[in-house]
Amino acid sequence: MSQLVPEVLAKQDELHSYLEGAFAGQRLERDANGESILWLKGSDLLGTLECIRSDERLQMDRLSDLTVYDNVDGVDGAERFVAVYQLYSMKRHLRLRLKVLVAEDQDVPSVTGIWSAANWLEREAFDMFGVRFSGHPDLRRLLMDERFVGHPLRKEYGLEDRQPFPDSLPVRIAERRSEGQHS
């Protein structure tokens, strides 16, 4: 399994057992480190997150990360994308990963009302993959230029594809002067 400290692994085992009872019937897995992965439907996301955040046994009070990956090969299910939520309990020092299968034309509920940190994370997922988050307060591009067409982390986006913008300023890299040279 993993190289985790035995007491941390024991806590993760306890968490996994609790999740098996609390979310019976849901797809529940463990990764190589023994951390639990709970799979959800998009329609169950907000209610489950509220429960996980307030549950005394879980207290998952921090959204550490939110990302998306392109499931175009269908390894994790029939839907095109998988949204991944990394949660952490500051009080219990436990981690939990939630995964939500997302169809290409499906919106995922925004979790900005639960964790404000989701704001930029959801914008990044939208910008890079085109996954829309319903109820997001300001869903627009974060990293790419507003004029950019497409979503560069989708598998079909070619490595050689470029979108030059004629009004962009040229980048000039100043030459580095050696020490002792004066202008």
Q: Is residue 135 part of a domain?
A: no
Does the structure show a pLDDT above 60 at 181?
no
What amino acid is encoded at 29 in this protein? E
Q: Is residue 158 part of a domain?
A: no
Q: Is residue 142 part of a domain?
A: no
pLDDT at 1: 46
Q: Which CATH number fits the domain that encloses residue 46?
A: 3.30.460.80
Does the structure show a pLDDT above 70 at 182?
no
Containing structural domain, residue 82: 6-107
Neighbouring residues of 113: CB distance < 8 A, sequence distance ≥ 6: 46, 135
Q: Is residue 114 part of a domain?
A: no
The C-alpha atoms of residue 156 and residue 70 are separated, in whole angstroms, by 10
Q: Is residue 30 part of a domain?
A: yes
- In degrees and rounded to multiples of 5, residue 108 shows phi and psi of -105, 135
Does the structure show a pLDDT above 70 at 170?
no
Q: Is residue 45 part of a domain?
A: yes
Q: Per-residue pLDDT tens for 93-131?
A: 999 999 999 999 999 999 999 999 999 999 999 999 999
Q: Per-residue pLDDT tens for 130-145?
A: 999 999 999 999 999 8
The length of the chain in residues reads 183
Least confident of 7-16, 35-44, 94-103: 7-16
Q: Mean pLDDT of all residues in the chain?
A: 89
**CA-closest candidate to residue 121, choices 142, 101, 107:** 142
Query: Span 12-16, mean pLDDT?
Result: 93
The C-alpha atoms of residue 153 and residue 97 are separated, in whole angstroms, by 21
Looking at the structure of the chain, the number of domains it has is 1
Q: Is residue 89 part of a domain?
A: yes
Q: Is residue 120 part of a domain?
A: no
The C-alpha atoms of residue 141 and residue 120 are separated, in whole angstroms, by 10
